[in-house]
Amino acid sequence: MIPLLISCEHATCAVPEANRELFQNEEELLTSPEGWDPGALNLAQAMAMKFRTPLVHGEITKLLIDLNATSENRRWSRFGKLLTDAQRAKMVERHLATHMAALHQRISDETRRAGKVLHISVHTFPTNEAVSLIEAQVAIGFDPGNEVASTAAHRWAKAFHSCAPDLSMEMNPAAPLIDLGVTSVLAGQHHGSGYGGLVLEVSQSFFLEGKPWRWDKLKKAMLDSMAVALEDGT
- Where is 195: in which H helix or E strand? strand 195-203
SS3 content of the chain, % helix, strand, coil (to 5): 45, 15, 40
| Residue 130: pLDDT band with limits 50, 70, 90 | very low
Residue 1 has pLDDT above 90, yes or no: no
b/e burial code for range 74-96 (CB count within 10 A of at least 16 → b): ebbbebbeebeeeebeebeeebb
Range of the domain at 159: 4-231
- Where is 4: in which H helix or E strand? strand 4-8
* Residue 57, domain CATH: 3.40.630.40
Q: What is the pTM of this model?
A: 0.93
- pLDDT for 168: 83
Count of structural domains, the chain? 1
Q: What is the pLDDT of residues 48-104, one digit of tens each?
A: 999 999 999 999 999 999 999 998 889 999 999 999 999 999 999 999 999 999 999
Question: Looking at this protein, which amino acid is placed at residue 57?
Answer: H
Contact between 147 and 191 (Cβ < 8 Å):
no
Share of the chain above pLDDT 70, in %: 93
55-57/4-8 β-pairing: parallel
Q: What is the pLDDT of residues 170-195, one digit of tens each?
A: 888 655 556 789 999 999 999 999 99
